Amino acid sequence: MGTAAVRRTTYSEYLALEAETGRKHEFDSGVVTMMGGGSPDHALLAMTFGRLLGNALAGGPCRPYSSDLKVWNADLDQAVYPDVTVICGPVVPAVHDRLAVVNPSLVAEVLSHSTRGRDALVKAPAYRAMPSVQEVLLIDSEAVFVQHFRRGEDGKWVLTETSDLHAWLELHAGGARLSVAELYAGTGLLAEREAAD
């Protein structure tokens, strides 16, 4: 007995679905996934990272955007909503979707139990394949842990990982320097760490 073929959604149908429902969905070569909510720590980390970036980048050519900004990856036929996106210079919209951008410089995902696999194993490599992307950050919402991928001058990716609250995230985008302790401030994870010390 054969396997039933999976019906692929066209991009036009995907856009119509978003317009009709008013909900965010991600598109991956015809497969559509509705975006769900996150834990309080997930939401706080995304907001704090965006705020810290906004403060650090103020007055420069780079600007942070929330998870409402859609990123289009033409090579992979993929439209996704990173938790935080930084664009340096003018915004370049996708030709077929004026609400999606094609030129992020930095993208960050806050990892949660339900999204960890997709964010780390599918979306992060896809971001690194985009020519404009210079940095990808994966911020864990279940442990104090940040992975920072940075594209080197030779085009190869360098990974820095930290679980040290005294560490700083040295970002290429706008020369921003962010404190890991400030990033995790107010989360249950920081409270647990402080109680253990």
| The pLDDT of residue 1 | 47
**Looking at residues 98-126, what average pLDDT do you find?**
92
Distance CA 52, CA 46 (A): 10
168 within 8 A of 177, measured Cβ to Cβ: yes
Q: Which residue has the higher pLDDT, 28 or 188?
A: 28
Closest by alpha carbon to 100, among 34, 7, 18? Answer: 18
Between strands 25-28 and 78-80, the pairing is antiparallel
Which residues, 6 or more positions from 85, have their beta carbon under 8 angstroms from its beta carbon?
64, 65, 69, 71, 101, 104, 106, 107, 108
| The pLDDT of residue 192 | 72
Q: What does the pLDDT look like over 79-103, one tens digit per residue?
A: 999 999 999 999 999 999 999 999 9
Considering the chain, what percentage of its residues have pLDDT values greater than 70?
94
CA 162, distance to chain mean position in Å, is: 18
Give SS3 for 196. helix
Judged against a pLDDT cut of 60, whether residue 5 lies above it is answered with no
14 within 8 A of 33, measured Cβ to Cβ: no
Judged against a pLDDT cut of 70, whether residue 2 lies above it is answered with no
| The pLDDT of residue 99 | 94
Read off the tokens for 7: 């019906």
**Residue type at position 120:** A
